[in-house]
């Protein structure tokens, strides 16, 4: 292995994988390491989509999370870098067949299995005994034990990849929700969010990449001396569009219903085919929420989330759902209801006009990503006069 990594602690956990804070052993550079267990074809397909998307973006835009490398864990002690431009064929085969290849069962007992682990895990630091995360076993103390383990792996005859490890740049500011809601409102900072994210989505769409799950949770923040940098992340639901003519993604249609309720476009809510313009709607929801500090409570939690909505009596309805039910619904931008302070100044007329266009029920009425970036700059400049 060309580069070894150490894991320090778990920093995030979702439906599909676990994210650790780690370091590149040779340089000490801090990185985020995401472990994606390859348990079933559906999960594997999402992982390969995320890997493919992150490779396509490479490290070419400051507002898109960067991928350093991908590692394949093919056995309990076998971990190797995946070559650039390559996808693991056995994982592709699993997706196509709809089943994960079986491993031949070894004759080693449960205790032996528990002691075996990947080379990456061997390099991790053991956590304190009072940590909420399980401690990491130590590296075997001698070479003979290491050679024995390698022979054991050969005898088990592993036929599939047990996990993918994505090594990415580390963002120390958390996600957009955590970062903004833990600080007083800042009109200049909010405008920076809007400008940076419009630039990121323009970059992605120019590559033919549709994110399909844009929301504050999927925007990470890197804190720098010059100010926060906001980075689009989590490409598990993204799609690379083929056959795009002159960068026009509005001609490519998708049908899978995916995304998060409060950010999904009306056409996605309605189960219609949709285009990259669904991303523009999701971005419009985020921009409105950021500029006016609109929040809602996630069902079953007390955690505030940034997001715009429509009030239906005591209930909050996602904008996309409301517009699907009534395409002629008139949105109130800026929000006219009284809310508890402190609040930022409402967006100016030019930015409000742009938000109306981004949140249009008809996707063809929304600006495309290239236009959006320039219109954001123009609207902010006009409103500052």
| Residues with a known catalytic role | 213
- Taken in order 76, 82, 87, 89, is the CA torsion positive or negative? negative
Query: Do 339 and 250 form a contact (C-beta atoms < 8 A)?
Result: no
Q: Which residues contact 370 (CB under 8 A, 6 or more apart)?
A: 202, 205, 206, 247
Spacing of C-alpha 152 from chain mean position: 37
For residue 179, the surrounding DSSP H or E stretch is: helix 176-181
CA angle 50, 52, 57 (to 5 degrees): 95
Q: What is the residue-wise DSSP string for 84-124?
A: TT---HHHHHHHHHTSPPPPPPPS--HHHHHH---HHHHTS
Q: Does residue 71 contact residue 84 with C-beta atoms inside 8 Å?
A: no
Specify whether the CB–CB gap between 121 and 7 falls below 8 A. yes
């Amino acid at each position: 292995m060309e580069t070894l990594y150490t894991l320090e602690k778990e920093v995030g956990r979702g439906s599909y994988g676990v994210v650790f804070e780690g370091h590149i052993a040779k340089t000490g550079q801090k990185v985020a390491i995401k472990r994606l267990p390859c348990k079933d074809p559906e999960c594997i397909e999402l992982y390969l989509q995320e890997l493919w998307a992150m490779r396509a973006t490479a490290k070419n835009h400051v507002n898109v999370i960067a991928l350093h490398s991908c590692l394949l864990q093919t056995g309990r002690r076998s971990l190797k870098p995946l070559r650039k431009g390559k996808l693991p064929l056995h994982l592709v085969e699993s997706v196509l067949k709809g089943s994960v290849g079986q491993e031949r069962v070894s004759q080693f007992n449960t205790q032996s299995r528990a002691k075996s682990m990947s080379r990456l895990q061997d390099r991790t630091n053991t956590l304190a005994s009072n940590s909420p995360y399980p401690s990491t076993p130590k590296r075997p103390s001698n070479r003979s034990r290491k050679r024995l383990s390698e022979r054991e792996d050969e005898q088990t005859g592993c036929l599939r990849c047990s996990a993918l490890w994505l090594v990415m740049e580390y963002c120390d500011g958390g996600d957009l929700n955590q970062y903004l809601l833990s600080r007083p409102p800042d009109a200049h900072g909010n405008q920076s969010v809007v400008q940076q994210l419009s630039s990121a989505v323009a970059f992605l769409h120019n590559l033919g990449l549709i994110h399909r799950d844009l929301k504050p949770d999927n925007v990470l923040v890197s804190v720098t001396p010059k100010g926060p940098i906001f980075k689009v992340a989590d490409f598990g639901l993204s799609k690379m569009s083929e056959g795009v003519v002159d960068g026009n993604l509005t001609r490519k249609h998708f049908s899978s219903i995916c995304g998060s309720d409060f950010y999904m476009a009306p056409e996605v809510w309605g189960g219609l085919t949709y285009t990259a313009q669904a991303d523009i709607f999701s971005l419009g929801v985020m921009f409105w929420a950021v500029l006016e500090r609109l929040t809602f409570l996630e069902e079953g939690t007390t955690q505030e989330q940034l997001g715009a909505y429509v009030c239906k009596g005591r209930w909050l309805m996602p904008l996309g759902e409301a517009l699907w039910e009534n395409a002629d619904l008139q949105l109130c931008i800026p929000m006219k209801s009284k809310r508890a302070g402190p609040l930022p100044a409402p967006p100016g007329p030019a930015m409000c006009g742009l938000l109306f266009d981004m949140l249009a029920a008809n996707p063809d009425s929304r600006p495309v990503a290239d236009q959006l970036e320039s219109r954001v700059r123009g609207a902010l400049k006009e409103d500052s006069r």
